Amino acid sequence: MTRHLRILALLILPTVMVAGWAMYLAAERASQPAMRIAITGYDPRDLLRGHYLQFRLDLPAAEGAACACLHPDPGDALRPSVVPVQCTAPPPRDCGHFIGDPGRAYRYYAPEERALALQGELMANPGSASVLVHFHGDGAVSFSDISTRDR
Amino acid sequence: MIDIHGRAIRSRIDRWRNAGLIDHATATRLIAFEASGSPRSIPALTVIGALSVALGIIAIVSANWDQIPVRARLGGHVAVNLALGAWGYAGLAHGRLGHWAREGVLMVLSASTLALLAHVGQSFQLQGGTFGLLAAWLVLVSPFTLAFARGAANRWLWTAGLFAAAGTGLAENAAALGEADLVVTSIALFIVAGYAAPLPARVAGALHDWGRHLNHVMLAALVLATSAAQMAWRLDGLSSDLPTRVDVLAGAACATAGLLAVHAALARGLPDRPWPVAFVVASPAYAALPLVVGGAGSATVAAVGFCLYWWAVSWLAHAAGSTSLYRLAVVAIALRVLLVFVEAFGGLLLTGVGLVASGGVLLAAGYAVRRLLKHTGGPAES
């Protein structure tokens, strides 16, 4: 019986753990603060590498900042104001949108044809694209709902 | 289907019979014995066919995955993995799975677990690196792979994953490790840890084969790293792209101490054959030697260092009766000698002269080795 349980655990537990992680991510996403931010192509010659789009958040003030707090800007809904903060210290209490290395290149995964279409739209209408950014609280971010239309 | 493997064996047996090494009756028995085995090409075809079907399904789903809701996509993938796990459990627990079926189920479950991790990361648009993905995969699949997989394919898939994880980990943290002069030490610790694999395997008997496998793989990595170092010093001495002197010396010292400790822990009294142990323990120090005694940028030092190292490999292989390793060492030395002559002569005409000269040296060396082996009864024709 113990041997059977051991075999079952070794073969089933890895999948159960990954499924649990996916459920945790889904539940966490619902409670995470999110903000739509404009994006720019990372490399205007070839944004598409593999089946993902490479981009940067369109936050010129964030360049060079190791970590930052983003605050909604009533004057520009897609470009929040950036306040550089220390990465080592816990984020300030009023920092609901804490992000590490905001100037880095990010990836947005999409099927091949959709990624090609996104690349075309992004190159044809620079400045029109945006993505919904989910803030995890520890500086990490993830994305959803990329759009190439003005909002 | 033409059985190429069977034909090759039959031709070899005919050669032995014609040379008078075996009689007609023995030859007939050998041919009958080989013919009684199962044809080798069928498992390979099954594996390739199954892989093709799996890749086809993955490609079809990948082309349209944004049309499928995340819950349905991930739920379907989890269900496939659970079904594979249940199939493996039913077969392993009741001994119903044959060797190929067991290895196939474990390999597909392992690959599908990696795909599931990537699938979750892609679905939630996480921005993690390749190292995190591969490290998580190794943590999840190592327990069942080490416990149940016995075939070479699963063994090498896992080994490839281990090296890919180590390589991406090194690449993703190269800047921080470089600043701390810990690049070579990290590589040294990785090799020593793998080389020490037989230590825990001695306790757990079922893991003995895995321990031996990892030990051999890390030995090969050690020899390759030492050879690469002998080549690298020649390229540009110590340029900014290569690890610093402090980094190399610290890594070499760490590897030497680690390998010595492993052999001390494995030893039960003085070894019968001390030279293989001496070769392994001295390899890291030998790799760093040009940095200590000088001549790191010299073409001669690099070539002599490389050839001496592989001469030691050939000598150990000869002593151990390992024909394939012996031949590999001879080829490595021959190629390095060829490179020396190409390096020494510049321009097309002089390169031609260099190639003719190096060919002459190699032919003479081959003749000398053949004569030597004829007298000593070596392992192979070189």
pLDDT tens digits for range B242-287? 677 888 899 999 999 999 988 888 766 556 678 888 999 999 999 8
Smallest CA–CA distance, residue A69 to chain B, in Å, is 19
Residues of B with CB below 8 A from A11's CB? 84-86, 88-89, 92, 109, 144
- Nearest chain A residue (CA) to B79: A15
Is the distance from CB of A11 to CB of B109 less than 8 angstroms?
Answer: yes
**Interface membership of B80 toward A (CB under 8 Å):** no
Question: Among partner residues B65, B78, B125, which is closest to A108 by beta-carbon distance?
Answer: B125
Q: How far is CA B202 from CA A15, B118, B147, B266, in A?
A: 30, 35, 15, 9
pLDDT digits (tens, 9 = 90+) for A95-142: 889 998 898 889 888 887 788 888 888 888 877 889 999 999 888 999
Give the residue, B36 or A132, on which the prediction is more confident.
A132
**Interface membership of B76 toward A (CB under 8 Å):** no
- Average pLDDT over every residue of B360-379: 72
> Residue B367 pLDDT more than 50?
yes
Residue A13: the pLDDT is: 96
Which of B46-55, B156-165, B307-316 bottoms out in mean pLDDT, i.e. has the lowest?
B46-55
Label the pairing between strands A67-73 and A98-100: antiparallel
Q: What is the DSSP string of B51-100?
A: HHHHHHHHHHHHHTGGGS-HHHHHHHHHHHHHHHHHHHHHHHHTT---HH
Residues of B with CB below 8 A from A12's CB? 82, 85-86, 89
> Residue B138 pLDDT more than 70?
yes
**Interface membership of B275 toward A (CB under 8 Å):** no
**Interface membership of B115 toward A (CB under 8 Å):** no
> Residue A143 pLDDT more than 90?
yes
Q: H helices then E strands: how many in chain B?
A: 16, 0
Smallest CA–CA distance, residue A9 to chain B, in Å, is 9
Smallest CA–CA distance, residue A145 to chain B, in Å, is 10
Residue B1: the pLDDT is: 41
Interface residues of chain A, partner chain B, Cβ below 8 Å: 3-4, 7-8, 10-12, 14-15, 17-19, 21-22, 25-26, 29, 51, 106-114, 140-144
Give the residue, A31 or B375, on which the prediction is more confident.
A31
**Interface membership of B91 toward A (CB under 8 Å):** no
**Interface membership of B123 toward A (CB under 8 Å):** yes
Mean of the per-residue pLDDT values for chain B?
83
Which of B154-158, B186-190, B343-347 bottoms out in mean pLDDT, i.e. has the lowest?
B343-347
Residue B268: the pLDDT is: 62
**Interface membership of B101 toward A (CB under 8 Å):** no
DSSP B196: T
pLDDT digits (tens, 9 = 90+) for B57-89: 767 766 677 778 889 989 999 999 999 999 999
| B201 band by pLDDT with thresholds 50, 70 and 90 | low
B213: left (phi over 0), alpha (psi -120 to 50) or beta: alpha
Give the residue, A51 or B182, on which the prediction is more confident.
B182
Residue B100: the pLDDT is: 83
- Across the interface, do A111 and B148 touch by the CB < 8 Å criterion? no
* Residues of chain B above pLDDT 70, percent: 84
Residue B262: the pLDDT is: 87
Residue B5: the pLDDT is: 60
- Average pLDDT over every residue of B97-104: 85
* Residue among B60, B80, B124 with most chain A CBs within 10 A, to mutate: B124
Residue B14: the pLDDT is: 87
Residue B133: the pLDDT is: 93
- Average pLDDT over every residue of B298-327: 89
> Residue B379 pLDDT more than 60?
no
* Residue among A1, A15, A32 with most chain B CBs within 10 A, to mutate: A15
Residue B2: the pLDDT is: 43
| B4 band by pLDDT with thresholds 50, 70 and 90 | low
Residue B70: the pLDDT is: 87
Which of A6-15, B63-72, B284-293, B323-332 bottoms out in mean pLDDT, i.e. has the lowest?
B63-72
- Nearest chain A residue (CA) to B113: A15
- Average pLDDT over every residue of B2-20: 78
Cα torsion B327, B328, B332, B335 to 10°: value is 70
Q: How far is CA B373 from CA B310, B318, B336, in A?
A: 17, 10, 22
Give the residue, B100 or B47, on which the prediction is more confident.
B100
- Across the interface, do B120 and A15 touch by the CB < 8 Å criterion? no
- Across the interface, do B62 and A51 touch by the CB < 8 Å criterion? yes
| B219 band by pLDDT with thresholds 50, 70 and 90 | very high
Question: Could you tell me how far CA A35 lies from the centroid of its own chain?
Answer: 10
Smallest CA–CA distance, residue B132 to chain A, in Å, is 14
- Across the interface, do A11 and B85 touch by the CB < 8 Å criterion? yes
Strand order across the A98-100 sheet: A76-85, A67-73, A98-100
Residue B380: the pLDDT is: 47
Residue B222: the pLDDT is: 94
d(C-alpha B287, C-alpha B289), whole Å:
6
Q: What is the DSSP string of A20-52?
A: HHHHHHHHHHHHS-EEEEEEEES-TT--BSSSE
> Which residue is associated with the tokens 């416990």?
B147
d(C-alpha B235, C-alpha A147), whole Å:
49
The whole-model pTM stands at 0.79
Residue B217: the pLDDT is: 94
> Residue A10 pLDDT more than 50?
yes
